[in-house]
Structure 1
Amino acid sequence: MNTQQVGKVYLVGAGPGDPGLLTLKGLRCLQEADLILYDGLVNPILLRHTGANAERTARTGRGAHRHLDQDEINRRLIAAAKEGKTVVRLKGGDPFIFGRGSEEAAALADAGIPYEIVPGITAATAAAEYAGISLTHRAHASAVAFITGHEDPSKPKSALDYEVLAKFPGTLVFYMGLHQLPRLAAALIEAGKPAETPAAVVSRATTPHQRTVEAPLEDLPAAVRQAGVPAPSLIIVGDCVEHRQQLAWYENRPLLGRRIGITRPEHQAAPQIQRLYELGAEPVLLPTIRILPPESWDKIDATLDVLDRYDWIVFTSANGVASLLDRLWERGGDLRKLGSARTAAIGSATADAMRERHLQPDLVPDEFRAEALAEALTPHVAGKRVLWARANRGRDVLPNQLRAAGAELDELVVYHNEDVTGLPEAVLESITAGQLDWIGLSSPSIARSLNALLPQAARAHLGTSVRLAAISPVTAEAAREVGLPVSAVATEFTWDGIFDAIIAEERTAPLTGAEPGGC
């Protein structure tokens, strides 16, 4: 007899594309899931929030014969739940607004499977608001209608009454209607909707590739055809559209539509991912190194027992902070172990990592580089015992200068960085096809690792369709030494500095043929 406890299924709305629009409950479901089945329109960056097995449910077949095997999805949900798993069905937008979530819920109910619905931000409200269109307005629209532009082809006749829609006292929003736009516009006008009614199509809403086309209803099909905007798109018809230019905000972002490679380790890339979305760009994870724990903790543990013997403890990366201080905590110690030791951080990110652990750095140089840190420490370290928590590899500038200044320096390797053996095939294809606009280089070792990982076909695009931005002059020099052309160098030696340098370079020398922003 099978006594295994039945699991549970969560039908979760992922929102329309911007990963920041996922709800807090949706996030918790991802974190607790054993299995995730996600739609093709879901932003895969959301899968960074889960350790579960994730499978994409995609349409099969070609052209008019393409279909989504809903019955198979239902069977997978039921079977996984019967195995005792917590399952998330991650759906674009909201599960119950043109998302077939109700069909999945009905199948689960019939099978006796526990389930919950987690609402998501539907595409209509998100697309309109990211395009600067208010679907309701006291002076123009007291109602809004959500309408499918792509009805079930098996239905004997359309359920849409265009005469009713033409008289509707508010805003009309058509989902999945891009390919039917000429027919939809003609039917509304024939039913009495004024041909000059303001209308718009919002394509790939809330993503870095969002584009909006505005035109009077009768001219909208031709305008959309000329602009060449792709699906998925929403069609918005109503007087509220005419206020878009005043309210538009998203499509004015400085890096809208750019695809930018983040070369730092994937588990540390969250701040850069968020920042790029804020700037309107699409982050592409391109880790060239891995951060690993030390091969042995013996020397580190022995040093932690005598931390109070040091006059200075120096950190040159957030990884060093995390490895040393987290190990201290794991062994039952806390910051009291530091005694009267003063601390130094190479830059703001390292200092922030210290503050997160309630340790305020005593010294942070104005320039975030080893030369500046060594210069700032030089007046303080003569005859002093200094501990440097470092990686297994790096430049010798800091130890050489500190010893020259009279410091008794101990170098403690608290983590290892290791080159990855290969880049994702999709990333290499994007570089080779010139579909990646920028790659950020955040250290000399990352520059050298990237150079070793790139095949000749990809390298041929560097400096032209794909440009490189370095975090510092030292990193830029290391990149050029191995033959990588650098187009922009940060003046503030942080990832935000890299992005600022890209923005500045875009303003003075935009990519040839690039089309940032909407139309």
Structure 2
Amino acid sequence: MSKTGIVYLVGAGPGDPGLITLNGLDALQRSDVVVFDRLAPAGLLKYAKANAELISAAKSPANVALTQAEINDVLIDRAREGKSVCRLKGGDPFVFGRGGEEAIALSDAQVPFTVVPGISSAIGAAAYAGIPVTHRGLASSVTVVTGSEMQDPPNSGVNWEAVAKTGGTAVVLMGASRIEEITSTLISHGRRADEPAAAVQQGTSTEQRTITSTLSGIATGVQNAGLTAPIALVIGEVVALRERISWFDTRPLFGKRILVTRARSQVSRLASGLTELGAEVVECPVIKSTSMEDTTELDASLANLNQYEWVAFASPNGVNQAFERMDHLGLDARAFASCKIAAVGPATVAALKTHGIDADLTPDAFTAEGLVGAFRANSDKPKNAVVFRSDIGRETIPKGLRQLGADVTEVAAYRTVAEEQSAANAHSAFQEGIDVVTFTSSSTVKNLRHLLEGDVTPINNGVVVCMGPVTASTAESFGIEVDIIPEEQSIPGIIAAIRSYFEFAD
């Protein structure tokens, strides 16, 4: 008989994937099966194991993928198969998450389980709306209730009279379709009609929308604004603080969906920088860098670095692939001892530093042309050099060095290929709406166009950002209208340019 597995009842938080706890993320990453709710952040599923079984337990007022009894059965059955199961729930599993019911079912079935608390939308949505649920002098208590039972007030488990008379802050969850009845009931039991109230839709997500009004007016406000479930209804004097401390939905790129086309291994810095400014980043890597199938030429160059005066790297990928092969050959950074190192830009410089090497020459303009210009401005012209680049890299650096009289060896350190698996992601991303498309190289332009079967209309419907004039020229040659070319051709430069564009537009 196989050993029984374990079930993790994980609170994933109310919407922002970054709000999951370290314990929750660890449980998700190690589990063989993930049973996820509709309100669990979808962005977290990418952290599941590649071979994990993903099971939707989505529930909405009009649709139920699995009943609660069926969910309990799935958890028990998979655990009895000896598997680890992550029950990924929106918010906190024990705050209107029916986690208690699942824990009881597991206990009765003698299946081991662990509870990982999460941030409830009662607190998280309010905080992201700039509303502290408690505040000295305004509210020393907070009452959290469900609005789902308002459909049958006589038999409701909520004592609305007590909620009205308790004072402090009241937060009502799962009551989006019954806000008028809820507010009328609270007022009839003594809550002030002019008390501040807020409705927060999709709290903590990039789709968050917040409106404020009075207790008597919030239902009309929600209807006029077209807000739909899920909504956290926050009632109390603390709501007035939003005018002074709102922060999440006032960021410069809030609500903008930005397509990032960089290779998966390079997306993090751009994505994190844009996310910090409020953007929703849609990752759609259209290229990937892979090792050379035949490394004979690369290995020979690395084994004979002492023959070169200069070593030029055109990208971080070239650096990383070179050191990967050096490790295979039993070499390390000391092999560069007799060489001078040139790097195209700060990302390449940073990649070199991770291997203990400082670049001797970098350009002011972070392009291949800029690096050639830096060599030209140098008093000592290069006598010979080896250039490590992509198999489809441009000839700019080798050609420029030859014009300066150098004997140049060109070496393909890695291959740049299309990420064909992103085709479906590209189509769905544009169907859902994209505000900004970013291109960091000519390869990203060519490959996104390829994934869209040559149709650049969806690209032109958004703001197009190209890192550098060469990338922009490639885009324009395909009929793509370029809106932004950053002055500094770097990831920070792209982020700053997008921010400036929208700040100026506003």
One-letter identity of the residue aligned with 1:410: T
d(CA) in 2 for partners of 1:346, 1:54:
43
Structure 2 match to 1:73: 71
- Counterpart for residue 485 of structure 1: 481
State the partner residue of 2:179: 181
Q: How big is the shift at 1:508?
A: 4.0
Q: Is the 8 A contact 2:384 2:406 kept in 1?
A: yes
Give distance in 2, aligned partners of 1:381 and 1:388: 18
Distance 1:195 1:325 in 2: 69
Aligned pairs for 1:146-161 (under 5 A) are 146-151=144-149, 157-161=155-159
Q: Which amino acid aligns with 2:91?
A: G
Match runs of 1:66-215 below 5 Å: 66=64, 68-151=66-149, 157-215=155-213
Give the corresponding residue for 1:14.
Answer: 12
- Which residue in the other structure is 2:224 paired with? 226
Match of 1:513 in 2: none
- State whether residues 35 and 57 of structure 2, in contact with CA within 8 Å, keep that contact through their aligned partners in structure 1: no
Secondary structure of the residue aligned to 2:397 is helix
Query: Is the 1:381–1:407 Cα contact (8 Å) retained in structure 2?
Result: no
The Cα shift of 1:286 comes to 1.8
Q: 1:289-328, aligned counterparts within 5 Å? A: 289-328=287-326
Give the superposed CA RMSD: 2.4
Q: 1:149 offset after TM fit, Å? A: 1.4
1:83-122 CA distances to partner (integer Å, 9 max, x unpaired)? 3333222221222111122222222222222221122222
Instruction: Please list, as runs of the form range in 1=range in 2, the aligned pairs for 1:346-495 lying within 5 A after superposition.
Output: 346-378=344-376, 379=378, 382=381, 384-421=383-420, 423-425=422-424, 427-432=426-431, 435-455=433-453, 459-463=456-460, 465-495=461-491
What do the CA deviations read for 1:419-446 (whole angstroms, capped 9, x no partner)? 233644354244256x111110111121
8 Å contact from structure 1 (residues 59, 69) kept in 2:
no
Specify the alignment match of 1:55 in structure 2. Answer: 54
One-letter identity of the residue aligned with 1:491: E
How many angstroms apart in 2 are the aligned matches of 1:133 and 1:441? 38
Number of aligned residues: 504
Tell me by how many angstroms 1:70 deviates.
2.2
- Do the aligned partners of 1:136 and 1:171 also contact (CA within 8 Å) in 2? yes
Q: Which amino acid is the alignment partner of residue 460 of structure 1?
A: T
Residues of 2 paired with 1:96 and 1:82: CA distance?
A: 24
Counterpart position of 2:338: 340
In 2, Cα distance between the equivalents of 1:261 and 1:422?
16
Is the contact between residue 197 and residue 238 of structure 1 (CA under 8 Å) also seen in structure 2? yes
| Deviation, structure 1 residue 509 | 4.2
8 Å contact from structure 1 (residues 431, 466) kept in 2: no
TM-score of the superposed pair, with normalisation by structure 1: 0.90
Indicate how the Cα distance of structure 1 residues 87 and 438 shifts in structure 2: closer, same or farther if over 3 A, else same: same
**Alpha-carbon distance in structure 2 between the residues aligned to 1:179 and 1:288:** 42
Structure 2 letter corresponding to 1:224: V
In 1, Cα distance between equivalents of 2:168 and 2:85: 39
CA–CA distance in 1 between the matches of 2:373 and 2:425?
A: 43
Return 379-388 or 10-19, whichever deviates more. 379-388
Asked if 1 retains the 8 angstrom alpha-carbon contact of 2:94 and 2:100, the reply is: yes
1:497 aligns with 2:493: yes
SS for the counterpart of 1:218 is: coil
- In structure 1, the partner of 2:35 is 37
